[in-house]
Amino acid sequence: MVQLTGKNIVITGASGGIGAEIAKLCAARGANLVLLARSMDKLEQLQNSLQERYQVKVDVFQLDVSDTNQVQKVFKQIDETINEVDILVNNAGFGVFREAHEATIEEIKGMFNVNVVGLMVCTSMVLPKMRERRFGHIINIASQAGKIATPKSSVYSATKHAVLGFTNSLRMELADFNVYVTSVNPGPIATNFFTIADEKGTYVKNVQRFMLKPEYVAQKVVNAMITPTREINLPRWMNMGSIIYILMPRLFERLGKRAFNKK
Ligand SMILES: NC(=O)c1ccc[n+]([C@@H]2O[C@H](COP(=O)([O-])OP(=O)(O)OC[C@H]3O[C@@H](n4cnc5c(N)ncnc54)[C@H](OP(=O)(O)O)[C@@H]3O)[C@@H](O)[C@H]2O)c1
């Protein structure tokens, strides 16, 4: 494992779920943190507990990543506060499970503005310095939904496919600059994500026994920091599914129909 002591790590969507778990593990390994999200109360609570427990520097800023003016302002403040960002974890995101004909324009724009545009704009804020310093790591939290699109997640899947496309291109652009780019593609994780995504609770009920623990996903992410890890795919059996899907999409969709309709 690479040493994280003294490294400056910025995490979007750090007020809960895997973002908060990643923050805890980074603090335990001595990193300085900048935590971003809309819920300032939760960020401040996490800030206090991490500073007290690990004696690391933790800065928090309120940020809605879909507001590009705010992103520019906050990253300017971050620049003034910590000067150099070593690792950016683009984690903020949400989904709404609905069939395409039922998805509202507001939801479609909302998911793209947070999951895709927000992630790209946050990334663009740190790229010039990382390229100049020839050091850094950008970690994008995508999803298995970015590999296999299933019914009732057309819009969410499309956002995560976009994240994967962006991430793969970025990795090649930065290959000669010593800046690492990793995508994280987990299956279902037991977080508050499903409060919005699965309002009827049917998906959670059906997949509860397969759900990953946020602490486990966070551990995998933190272990990969400052290493040239291309992708983190969890759980392994689901990743096998996405490989078979690429090879035999028609057969995979036919055989998986019942399972895919569990949302
Ligand atoms: N849970 C899963 O099954 C699963 C599976 C694969 C991938 N993922 C991805 O993992 C990431 C984290 O999700 P999670 O499971 O940890 O969900 P979560 O518990 O709902 O956490 C989402 C985080 O994103 C933040 N966020 C949401 N909208 C935001 C916005 N407009 N601006 C800034 N921050 C925003 C939330 O904070 P505020 O509300 O305070 O802003 C919260 O901290 C997401 O990108 C999600 O798509 C989740």
Q: Is residue 42 part of a domain?
A: yes
Provide the strand spans (E) within the chain.
8-12, 32-37, 58-62, 87-90, 136-141, 179-186, 231-234
Amino acid at position 97, single letter: F
Q: pLDDT at position 229, please?
A: 98
Q: Is residue 212 part of a domain?
A: yes
DSSP code per residue over 194-249: HHHHTTT-HHHHHHGGGPBPHHHHHHHHHHTTTS---EEEESHHHHHHHHHHHH-H
Pocket of ligand 1 (CB under 6 A): 12-19, 37-39, 63-66, 91-95, 114, 141, 143, 186, 188-189, 191-193
Is residue 212 within 8 Å of residue 189, measured between CB atoms?
A: yes
Q: Is residue 235 part of a domain?
A: yes
Centroid of ligand 1 to alpha carbon of 96 (angstroms): 12
Which domain range does residue 118 map to? 8-260
Give the ligand 1 atom nearest the CA of 194: 1
**CATH code of 138's domain:** 3.40.50.720
The two tokens of residue 22 are 């990643």
Tens digit of pLDDT at every position of the chain (263 positions): 779 999 999 999 999 999 999 999 999 999 999 999 999 999 999 999 999 999 999 999 999 999 999 999 999 999 999 989 999 999 999 999 999 999 999 999 999 999 999 999 999 999 999 999 999 999 999 999 999 999 999 999 999 999 999 999 999 999 999 999 999 999 999 999 999 999 889 889 888 989 999 999 999 999 999 999 999 999 999 999 999 999 999 999 999 888 888 77
203 noted as active-site residue: no
Q: Is residue 14 part of a domain?
A: yes
Radius of gyration of the chain (CA): 18
**pTM for this entry:** 0.97
Q: Is residue 161 part of a domain?
A: yes
Q: pLDDT at position 124, please?
A: 98
Q: Is residue 3 part of a domain?
A: no
Domain count, the chain: 1
Q: pLDDT at position 263, please?
A: 75
Q: Is residue 234 part of a domain?
A: yes
Q: Is residue 53 part of a domain?
A: yes
Q: pLDDT at position 84, please?
A: 96
Give the ligand 1 atom nearest the CA of 14: 43
